[in-house]
Amino acid sequence: MRNPVFDIENWREIGTTLAQNKTRTFMTAFGIFWGTAILALLIGGSEGLKHFMYRNFEGFATNAAIIFPGRTTKSYAGFNKGTEVKLNTQDAANIRRAIPDIEYSSAVVFSRGTALYGRNKSSAQLTGVEKDYDKIFEPIVYEGRFINEADDVNFRKVCVVGKKVADELFGTGSGIGKELQINDIYYKVIGVIGQTSEVNVGAKMDESIFIPYNTMRRGYNLGNHIDIFLMTYQSGCRPADYERLLRHLVASNHPIAPDDNGAFNYFNISEKFEMLDNIFYGITLLALFVGIGTLMSGIIGVGNIMWIIVRERTHEIGIRRAIGAKPRDIIIQILSESMVLTTIAGITGIVFATLILGTVQMATDGPRGPLHFQLEFSQATGILLTFLILGTAAGIIPAVKAMKIKPIEALNDK
């Protein structure tokens, strides 16, 4: 007796059987094809959309928080409601001393200025920052380096210019080591940077000039003023857990009522990332729900066509049983047909989805690279195996029914 798994004649019979039921086979195969394609497109598309959203925050630390001043919402200590709150270096010192879980931090001040180099000039935002600024808001360094601790402590007259400003001042040449006149003070260029994120701190990095915080305070008589204070926390720490303490620390240094939460703002970046994670978790569940629904419709089609095939081949199965075919051979025969139909249609659906995702990825390619509209090999394999297992399972009941057909009953079937 020939082995139905390895015998080439058996696989020819499978093809012949499926071809004889052209309409039913096509509709079932199309259902499986569409199910795998939809599921693959939803998974790959959600990954691309997720990458698109996260790219807006690219370069910005995910556990960062920003403190920036506002106005009091309550009268307190003789000061009227609406009094402007201004952060200072004492606030920064209090926060750093009271919260050892802060990993990186930087005081930041802003101003406007005009940079001159020869006959070229560029209007830019001047940003005074401390040494850890680039660890909180990571730039693209095109040339040179960013401001370090020695620059700030020693009041060095150095600057880092944004790419757009550098192009306006130096054209296609390098700006490293050149002297710029910014609001009547000369600074040596030590770096050229750009921005990866869509998030702005004051202005885009490409349109800014960065100066050591202490140098800017002294050069432009800013005193101990701070416009905003940036910080990140140690791994495992949640920025939201420190908001109450931070409000107390700032309020203790200013005429702010202890319960006045509007006097200054605490912007928690991690909350935005958590919100995005929750949104895409929901999108993933929706994609799985829709994909599984489509999948089940295709699997039900496989089961139906197997029932029809068994019914139409009752006479043939009876003859095979009469000449010695074992029940195991009949089961393998029916399951093989189910597996072939599921595998071919499933692979076709995955290939189709991959081509669509690849086309979308090429269409979204830009200066910052393409979006990741991709289906990973493990995901494609998982989808195919899921369809194959369920498609095979759908053929089990018809296969068992075929196995139980008695030769004499099958031969008398009309």
pLDDT at position 5 is 44
- Contact between 203 and 176 (Cβ < 8 Å): no
The pLDDT value given to residue 11: 47
Kind of pairing between the strands at 120-129 and 208-212: parallel
Instruction: Return the residue matching tokens 């200590």.
Output: 77
Query: pTM of the full predicted structure?
Result: 0.66
The amino acid present at 85, given as its one-letter code, is V
* Distance, CA of 87 to CA of 107 (rounded, Å): 9
Q: Return all residues near 222 (Cβ < 8 A) that are at least 6 apart.
A: 109, 111, 128, 216
C-alpha 380/C-alpha 51 separation (Å) is 19
According to DSSP, residue 342 is labeled H
Residue 319: which of 411, 248, 384 has the closest Cα? 411
Q: What is the pLDDT of residue 88?
A: 92
Residue 172, pLDDT score: 82
179-182/102-117 β-pairing? antiparallel
Rounded distance, CA 220 to CA 165, Å? 21
Residues 6+ apart with CB under 8 A from 232: 61, 63, 64, 65, 102, 103, 104, 105, 135, 136
- What pLDDT is recorded for position 386? 79
Distance CA 338, CA 171 (A): 67
Judging by DSSP bridges, how do beta strands 179-182 and 185-194 pair with one another? antiparallel
What pLDDT score does 4 carry? 47
- What dihedral angle (degrees, nearest 10) is formed by the CA atoms of 239, 242, 248, 252? -70
Over residues 292-334, the pLDDT tens digits come to 776 677 677 667 766 766 666 666 666 666 677 676 776 777 6
pLDDT recorded at residue 374: 76
pLDDT, the chain, mean: 80
Q: Which two structure tokens, joined as six digits, stand for 51?
A: 């990458």
Q: How far apart are CA 172 and CA 21, in angstroms?
A: 69
Do 330 and 17 contact (CB within 8 A), yes or no?
no
Q: What residue ranges of the chain have pLDDT lower than 70?
A: 1-28, 54-60, 197-199, 294-295, 298, 301-302, 305-306, 308-322, 325, 327, 330, 334, 365-371, 395, 397-414
Q: Are 217 and 225 in contact (CB under 8 A)?
A: yes
Helix locations, 261-376, DSSP H: 269-312, 314-322, 327-363
